[in-house]
């Protein structure tokens, strides 16, 4: 499937009965956010492996990341 502005608009607003929409600012970026959930013992290994592939480059910096620790919840359906 070719991703286009119209494809995304159709997917986002298709089921909400919105007839007329005009994006204020719509663009694609070469940068992506990667969110990874891993056991604490594996954080450094995953970080280094992702860095070796080029993840975490921002401007003149490499190995950029944001880490947070927390408690997740989930309930069976």
User: For the chain, which residues make up each domain, given as ranges?
Assistant: 5-52
Enter the pTM of the model: 0.52
Rounded CA-CA distance 40/66 in Å is 14
Residue carrying structure tokens 């997740």: 72
- What pLDDT score does 21 carry? 62
- pLDDT single digits (tens) 11-70: 665 656 666 666 666 666 677 788 888 888 999 999 999 999 888 998 899 999 999 988
């Amino acid at each position: 499937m070719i991703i286009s502005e119209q494809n995304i608009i159709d997917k986002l607003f298709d089921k909400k009965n919105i007839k007329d929409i005009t994006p204020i600012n719509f663009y694609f970026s070469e940068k992506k956010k990667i969110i990874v959930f891993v056991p604490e013992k594996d954080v450094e290994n995953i970080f280094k492996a992702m860095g070796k592939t080029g993840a975490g480059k921002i401007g003149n910096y490499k190995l950029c990341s944001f880490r947070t620790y927390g408690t997740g919840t989930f309930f069976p359906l």
